[in-house]
Amino acid sequence: MSRLIRNAVSMLLLMTLITGIAYPLVVTGVAQVLFPHQANGSLVEKNGKPIGSELIGQSFDDPRYFWGRPSATAPQPYNGTASNGSNLGPSNPSLRDQVQQRIDALRKADPDNTAPVPADLVMASGSGLDPQISPAAAQYQMARVARVRHLSVAQVQDLVARFTQARQLGFLGEPRVNVLALNLALDTVQNK
């Protein structure tokens, strides 16, 4: 019996060393060498200081900026440690109220815009962390951003086109626009 226990403990220690220490160290080392930007969180820097990640959305509610997809995380939006959806079903009055509040905020920021509001501007994703919006959501906001920043719509449209990412490998996912990257680029555009 003691031999069985000794073998079991030895196997436990061996597998702990292999799968708990050696394998994670090898994978981390390979990732740091081959993909250092991604392995370190895909951080976005401004003036040498990290201000966000390409992978996690941020709250923007200033009309001068493009607004991202709403976040359902708590206790604050885009909380990476609380990634989840709202779990509110389509018949839940609370979800309808939240969507209506978001529509009202968009309409208040741009009262002349009578176009239908794209769903990704009023509905949170399953993760609650999406950093991208659809090109339609960016299009919906272009006139507001151009007007508030005293830019031409063509300037803003060119910037959105430059930051629109195509489907991965040509067929995976949908075209998308990273809101943080777009807003950072927007801050560098001068009025023409």
CB distance 113 to 139 below 8 Å: no
- Specify the length of the chain in residues: 192
154-174 burial string, b = 16+ CB within 10 Å, else e? ebbbebbeebbeeeeeeeeee
Please write the tens of the pLDDT for every residue from 107-133: 999 999 999 999 999 998 888 889 999
pTM assigned to the model:
0.82
CB distance 118 to 140 below 8 Å: yes
Question: What is the distance between the alpha carbons of residues 104 and 108, in angstroms, rounded to a whole number?
Answer: 6
Interval 142-159 mean pLDDT: 95
Query: What pLDDT, on the 0 to 100 scale, is given for residue 191?
Result: 62
The mean pLDDT value of the chain amounts to 92
Query: What pLDDT, on the 0 to 100 scale, is given for residue 82?
Result: 83
CA 120 to chain CA centroid, nearest Å: 12
Interval 13-20 mean pLDDT: 96
Instruction: Give yes or no for residue 167 having a pLDDT over 60.
Output: yes
Instruction: Give yes or no for residue 180 having a pLDDT over 60.
Output: yes
Instruction: Give yes or no for residue 101 having a pLDDT over 70.
Output: yes
Q: How confident is the model at residue 49 (pLDDT cuts 50, 70, 90)?
A: very high
Instruction: Give yes or no for residue 74 having a pLDDT over 90.
Output: no
Query: What pLDDT, on the 0 to 100 scale, is given for residue 112?
Result: 93
